[in-house]
Each structure stands twice: as C-alpha cells, then as structure tokens.
Amino acid sequence: MDLLGALHAHRLVAIVRGDDPDAALKTVLTLVEEGVALVEVSLSGRDALTVINRARAALGPDAPLGAGTVLSADDARAAHGAGADFVVTPAVGDGVTAARELGLPVLAGVMTPTDILSALRLGAEALKIFPAAQAGGPAYLRALRGPFPGLPFVPVGGVDATAAAEYLAAGATAVGVGSPLIGDAADGGDLEALRARTRTFLDVVRTGVPAAEGPA
C-alpha cells in the first residue's frame, strides 16, 4: 500500500475505537460509504482484531485498512494477520520495526525532533504528531516544519473540524481524527449523526474550512 500517497490524496485518517465490536464494524463501513478512504481501527478497542478481520472481508482486498495503537512486535504481527495493510503507532518502538519487517507502511507517533529522527531511521512513512493539542497545536507544527520542511506530518489528538482546517493550513499532510468524528458510533450510537460529522470533516479536507464557515 502507498500510505504516503494516500495521505497526500485524502488528507484524513478516521480513528475507530469502541467497546462494541459490531458497532465498531458498522462505523468503519459507514465511514467508507461516506467517502473516507483511510480508516484505522485502534487495537485498544474491544475485539479490535476481529473488527479488522471482518472489515477486511466486507471491504475486499483493495480498500486501505489500518490498525492503530500498535505498540509491540506482537501487535504488528497480529494486525497483519487480521488483514491490516498499514499500522499507526502512538510512539516510536518495536511496533514500527516489526511492521516494516512485515512490509506494512507505518504512521509513527512522534512528539519531539528526536522522535522524528528515530522514526525515520526505522523506516516510518509518515509522522503522527501526538498528542497534537498538548504539543502546542498548529503553532508547534509550524515550528517543526522549520527544521523538517519536507516531512509528512499528521496531527492527531483533539482535532475537531476547526483545528483540522488550521493544521492543514499550517502544512499538515493529513489529520487523524477520533472522537470529534466518531462520537459514540463505535459504542452503538447514532450512525446518521456519524454520517453528518463525516461530511463536515470531508468538507474541511477538500476546501480547507468547515462547511458552516465556507461560502454558501
């Protein structure tokens, strides 16, 4: 999978984490139906590997499908076995190394310049600034792009629609969005509300502004 190309093309990674595996699966499928091309299922959710496996069967072999919260080599191997074709980590560690050995592209979690260099040495395709809001928001992204002007950064953590527009304007390749997009859908909540939020975020990545702030 060309993760870097997909991040540049689609600019949004939806992060699904829930306590209801059936609802989590429905959430994944609803996001894809609405046009979200990159979906990550966090391994911290209940029965996440089963959700990934079922989503892979439903989506077919060609749809991008990621596993998130990959911390260890065992996590990476399990995600690969379940059908994930990219992984997302919250930090630089054994999960990155094992995923690359398996041929899986990695969006690696970083906070500092030292983290960035470590992730690149391990072969990460893109860099997840996490937690982005606590790191300093769009201003911190701009600061990182000074010494690292050409690197693909993906802010994650506290990214609502307004913040997503600000990060993209600051030079983010894409944004990763969890609860501001997913809400309670992965726990059995309203899928129609999820569809509405999805359209809002897709407007942001296409136009650079939330729909309510854009032209009529």
Q: pLDDT tens, 95-111?
A: 999 999 999 999 999 99
Look at residue 104 in the predicted model and tell me its pLDDT: 98
Q: Which helix (H) or strand (E) element contains residue 145?
A: helix 137-145
Look at residue 208 in the predicted model and tell me its pLDDT: 83
Question: What's the whole-number average pLDDT of the chain?
Answer: 96
Q: pLDDT exceeding 70 applies to what percent of the chain?
A: 97
pTM greater than 0.85: yes
Mean pLDDT of all residues in 34-38: 98
26 is catalytic: no
Look at residue 211 in the predicted model and tell me its pLDDT: 55
Q: What is the pLDDT of residues 64-76, one digit of tens each?
A: 999 999 999 999 9
Look at residue 209 in the predicted model and tell me its pLDDT: 77
Mean pLDDT of all residues in 142-164: 97
Look at residue 212 in the predicted model and tell me its pLDDT: 52
128 is catalytic: yes
Domains (ranges, CATH) in the chain? 3-208 (3.20.20.70)
What long-range pairs does 175-180 form, CB within 8 A, spacing at least 24? Answer: 175/11, 175/12, 175/13, 175/205, 176/12, 176/13, 176/15, 176/40, 176/88, 176/107, 176/128, 177/12, 177/13, 177/14, 177/15, 177/201, 178/14, 178/15, 178/16, 178/17, 178/42
26, 40, 125, 166: the catalytic one is 40
Q: Is the pLDDT of residue 183 over 80?
A: yes
Mean pLDDT of all residues in 117-146: 97
26, 101, 125, 128: the catalytic one is 128
